[in-house]
Structure 1
Amino acid sequence: MDRMTPLDALFLEAEDEEPGVSMAISSIAVFEGPAPTYAEFAELLAGRLPLIPRYRQKARQLPFDLGPPVWYDDEHFELDYHLRHTALPAPGGDAELAALMARLMSARLARDRPLWEYWLVEGLQDGRWALISKVHHCMVDGVSGTDLYSVVLDPSPRPRAAVPDKWSPQAEPSTFGLTAAALGQLVLTPIRQLRLAVTGLRQPRNLAYRSWSIGRGLWALSEALRPATRSSLTGSLSSSRRYAFGRAEVAQVKEIRHRLGGTFNDVVLAAVAGGFRSLLLSRGETPRENSVRTLVPVNIRAPGQESIRDNRVSLMLAKLPVHLEDPVERLAAVRTRLDELKTDHEIDSVALLTELARREPFALIAPGYRLAARLPQRSVVTVVTNVPGPREPLYALGRRLVEIIPYVPIGSTVRTGVSILSYCDSVAFGVTGDFEEADLAVLVRGVEDSLAELAAARPSEPVS
């Protein structure tokens, strides 16, 4: 039995507080054909299950929030429940694949089972097939979810041997046992907090610097929490989703950053800003400086920790410069803003608050999660995730993985989210919207056009 971290629990609580909202993350892995049979697909997954223990565990919340939710073995685990089989209608193109994705991601994962599903999808154009993975956000974040591809798939066309399975499920813990264990942890909490305080006092200079950095970061974060300019991009959500996606090339993004400056992340965020500018203009709205503030998750794993399956992210709140018409100016504005947020230690502050939450009684934290989920917010307009995927080709049953198309969930009043994922030489970006957002194609086309504009632009002055 394992306990969730407070950040993992946040995604479970957020789903509970928003009827009809699914907090599962997902991606579409497209393969060369021919498609495997369902039996071959099931055999492949069965041979990888020992490497992913969480896939055979269920989540359970404790009474009275005495402790965070726990993971425990599903004694009646059935692989067939989690593996689904479907086919696209003709012609099996991007539109049909996006419609299927929207339908699958509109439904919540059943809480009485392990929180994941894999869909084998046949009928794609050019004889291709797809694997849609759907995993609850309380189990993985974008980085660890993408790393699962390296676990399930093979690094060469020759399939690896199945992993020996010695799994023997432990009995489901009783409510009494869980309650007793949680109370025991509560008794130890003051001792852990005292040790933490003593450690800090033994290193006063380090404590002072960290306190100053955190204070500066929280101040920057508080400034960013001011309401964004009202627009059609925020509002209530239904339980149904729309989905669209586009593509780019890693080489194109790298060429832009080398010529115009900035990082890979700066370039894609500037392109997303251009996409939202196009979307607002198409709706007859004026893009303003404070129209689109985005939550940008930041991976805080140390090198080599990619396989840690829980959520290890901090965040930045950045304004996308949708008010700027010139694409080069938008890129420069994105660079400046992200550099400021890094200097202000906003990422460090959020990361430390998350770490401190792990040391507090969960009964004090859970009500805050629920209150935050219930209160309408006007600060965050969208979420933009950028996850680097595998750099080398992967294979399933000898078939080469061609591309990975990501999906990010949305909640609260955020009606649109953008997820970006690179794999080998390609970049795919998926756009999630509420069902009422019928013009997602405008945003997708706007991102693609913005990248093309940046690729054709020239710097106005030498890049430092």
Structure 2
Amino acid sequence: MIETHCERLSAMDASYLVLEKPHTPLHVSATLIYEAGPLATPDGGIDVAAYRRATEAVLHLIPRYRQKLQWIPVVGHPVWVDDPEFNLGYHVRHTSLPRPGTEEQLKRLSARIMAQPLDHSKPLWEAWVVEGLEGGRFAVISKIHHCMVDGMAGRDLAQILHSTDPAERRTEPAPPWTPRKAPSAAELLADEVGRYASLPGRLLRGLGQARGELGELGRDLATRVGSIRQTMGSMRELPSQTAINAPVGPHRRFDWRDMPLGQVKRVRRALGCTINDLVIATVTGAVREFLLVRGESLDGIDFRIAAPVSLRAEGEREMGNRVSQWFVDAPVDEPDVMKRIEKIHAATRALKASKQALDVDLIMGIAEWTPTILMSLASRAATGGAPYNLMVTNVPGPQQPLYLLGARLESLYSQVPIAENTALGIALVSYAGKLCWGFNADYEAVPDLELVADAVERSFAQIAAAVGIDLDGSASATDSPTA
């Protein structure tokens, strides 16, 4: 008898599929820019065949890349199964800018590619090799669905194709691969029924294991219940609606900026806060400027930033999402730079003490056994009820230069997906001595996306000036004229 194989998605991973809409795809994207180096061809192109061969040679290390979704009948929960019709040529694609292509043209191309949903009948990833970029460069635009991998694990996956050694080449042949047989619909349903039938026994075993911890549990119970109640309250109470919180359509804009990481760390040390605090403060100042330029009143505004928090333990490298959320109240109505930072620092300290991120993770853990909770969260998001105004992600990346088949990775810009009525998202990655900012926005709602990107640079310069650090002589410690 041939054995079958499948892997059940966690509630958090599955939630990204439930929440996704045709005009708000939930894949994580990035635009990576390289110096062509040894991948350059005599005609000025890029050796895409070498990239495909290298990708094929490592797919056995990331089996999820050859798996597709299958749905359990009746309950509608997804599982991963091997795709017997997997075709690498479908996933690794090749296109070109009109030579010499500019970064502005690359941004527009990235936005168009990122706006297109992934085909759920195939493995949920794509990689577009883009040649023709000015300066003897090329780009790779990658798309991976959020249900496959979160930002921290995704960084590990990207490193599979990269090396710190510019001389390293992947020349080994791809090992043979035979797709495993997927379970039938009846087998999937029977397994799911058995899973739910085992719930009482799981609960009893959990109680038995907890018997020796009842004293600690009793002391912690009231705190945890109150914390969860507070967390659910913050998810239920909607923030103020702003120009950023406009209806989202099918098209996108994408922009990016760089900051020297040394300058960022210098300002952080002067402030005595974390990098995340500094990032949120910088974004808060930029949002303040953007909303004032749009003519919005900031009196009494409740602006909330969602900041993902990784729950992945050191050395934990399994595919799947191990992230939770902080919801940070951003004082965009505060004109004083230092007071904004103090308020943000106090807010993040309070969030750490409240264990909000762990409580959101616990709520999603309950959703493993209570699909109605997951559907309730999905329903709220689908009706424009996201409990935040803006998503800001910050992923630490490698600080040494990386090479793809000898081609030096110059920059990488991530794209965080945007949700219904949340028309702007900001993603940061630190790499090789710089902080790379990626700005993703709805095409119609934020036609002036470059204003947001420029405002981020001004906001950071103002914070630096407030602690006596002059970055380039272009900013003062006072707020901008519009503020």
TM band (smaller chain): over 0.9
SS in 1 for 2:426: strand
1:317 maps to 2:321: no
Q: What is the TM-score of this pair, normalised by structure 2?
A: 0.89
Residue equivalent to 1:229: 240
Conserved in 2, the CA contact under 8 Å of 1:260 and 1:459?
no
Deviation per residue, 1:101-129 (Å, 9 max, x gap): 11011110001110000010112221111
Residue equivalent to 2:146: 137
Would the alpha carbon gap of residues 290 and 173 (structure 1) be closer, same or farther in structure 2, given more than 3 Å must change? same
Residue equivalent to 2:205: 195
1:22 maps to 2:25: yes
Would the alpha carbon gap of residues 348 and 445 (structure 1) be closer, same or farther in structure 2, given more than 3 Å must change? same
Residues in 1 aligned to 2:263 and 2:78: alpha-carbon distance in whole angstroms: 44
The amino acid that maps onto 2:224 is: I
Deviation at 1:161, TM superposition (A): 4.6
Deviation at 1:355, TM superposition (A): 2.9
SS in 2 for 1:203: helix
Conserved in 1, the CA contact under 8 Å of 2:308 and 2:325?
yes
Conserved in 2, the CA contact under 8 Å of 1:217 and 1:349?
yes
Would the alpha carbon gap of residues 162 and 365 (structure 1) be closer, same or farther in structure 2, given more than 3 Å must change? farther
Conserved in 2, the CA contact under 8 Å of 1:246 and 1:428?
yes
Residue equivalent to 1:427: 435
SS in 1 for 2:198: helix
SS in 2 for 1:290: coil
SS in 2 for 1:48: helix
1:447 maps to 2:456: yes
Residues in 2 aligned to 1:228 and 1:364: alpha-carbon distance in whole angstroms: 24
The amino acid that maps onto 1:399 is: A
Residues in 2 aligned to 1:418 and 1:97: alpha-carbon distance in whole angstroms: 18
The amino acid that maps onto 2:287 is: F
Unaligned runs of 5+ residues in structure 2 are: 1-5, 41-45, 470-483
Deviation at 1:364, TM superposition (A): 4.2
Would the alpha carbon gap of residues 121 and 73 (structure 1) be closer, same or farther in structure 2, given more than 3 Å must change? same
The amino acid that maps onto 2:400 is: E
Q: 2:11 aligns with which of 6, 9, 33?
A: 6
Would the alpha carbon gap of residues 43 and 62 (structure 1) be closer, same or farther in structure 2, given more than 3 Å must change? same
Deviates more, 1:216-225 or 1:331-340: 216-225
Deviation at 1:222, TM superposition (A): 4.2
Would the alpha carbon gap of residues 366 and 337 (structure 1) be closer, same or farther in structure 2, given more than 3 Å must change? closer
Residues in 2 aligned to 1:174 and 1:192: alpha-carbon distance in whole angstroms: 26
Q: 1:110 aligns with which of 107, 111, 119?
A: 119
Deviates more, 1:100-109 or 1:33-42: 33-42
Residues in 2 aligned to 1:457 and 1:283: alpha-carbon distance in whole angstroms: 25
Residues in 2 aligned to 1:255 and 1:445: alpha-carbon distance in whole angstroms: 21
Conserved in 1, the CA contact under 8 Å of 2:367 and 2:374?
no
Which residues of 2 match residues 338-377 of structure 1 at below 5 A? Answer: 338-358=348-368, 360=369, 363-377=371-385
Deviation at 1:335, TM superposition (A): 0.8
Would the alpha carbon gap of residues 159 and 328 (structure 1) be closer, same or farther in structure 2, given more than 3 Å must change? farther
Would the alpha carbon gap of residues 61 and 370 (structure 1) be closer, same or farther in structure 2, given more than 3 Å must change? farther
Conserved in 1, the CA contact under 8 Å of 2:54 and 2:171?
no
Deviation at 1:164, TM superposition (A): 5.1
1:81 maps to 2:84: no
Residue equivalent to 1:127: 136
Residue equivalent to 1:262: 273
1:457 maps to 2:462: no
Deviation per residue, 1:41-85 (Å, 9 max, x gap): 11111111111100000012222226x310000011110000111
Q: How much identity, in percent, do the aligned residues show?
A: 34
Residues in 1 aligned to 2:194 and 2:218: alpha-carbon distance in whole angstroms: 33
Residues in 2 aligned to 1:260 and 1:163: alpha-carbon distance in whole angstroms: 52
Residues in 2 aligned to 1:334 and 1:383: alpha-carbon distance in whole angstroms: 16
SS in 2 for 1:390: coil
Conserved in 1, the CA contact under 8 Å of 2:241 and 2:389?
no
Residues in 1 aligned to 2:159 and 2:384: alpha-carbon distance in whole angstroms: 39
Conserved in 2, the CA contact under 8 Å of 1:154 and 1:160?
no
The amino acid that maps onto 2:441 is: G
Q: What is the TM-score of this pair, normalised by structure 1?
A: 0.93
Residues in 2 aligned to 1:273 and 1:252: alpha-carbon distance in whole angstroms: 19
Q: 1:238 aligns with which of 224, 246, 249?
A: 249
Conserved in 1, the CA contact under 8 Å of 2:380 and 2:386?
no
Residue equivalent to 1:382: 390
1:279 maps to 2:290: yes
SS in 2 for 1:126: coil
Residues in 1 aligned to 2:413 and 2:300: alpha-carbon distance in whole angstroms: 30
The amino acid that maps onto 2:437 is: F
Conserved in 1, the CA contact under 8 Å of 2:28 and 2:415?
yes
Conserved in 2, the CA contact under 8 Å of 1:216 and 1:346?
no
SS in 1 for 2:157: helix
Aligned residues: 454
Deviation at 1:206, TM superposition (A): 2.7
Residues in 2 aligned to 1:338 and 1:242: alpha-carbon distance in whole angstroms: 30
Deviation at 1:322, TM superposition (A): 1.2
Residues in 2 aligned to 1:279 and 1:74: alpha-carbon distance in whole angstroms: 46
1:403 maps to 2:411: yes
Conserved in 2, the CA contact under 8 Å of 1:201 and 1:207?
no
Unaligned runs of 5+ residues in structure 1 are: none
Deviation per residue, 1:323-357 (Å, 9 max, x gap): 12232222222111111111112112112222333
Deviation per residue, 1:278-318 (Å, 9 max, x gap): 1101101123463421111100111112x322000111111
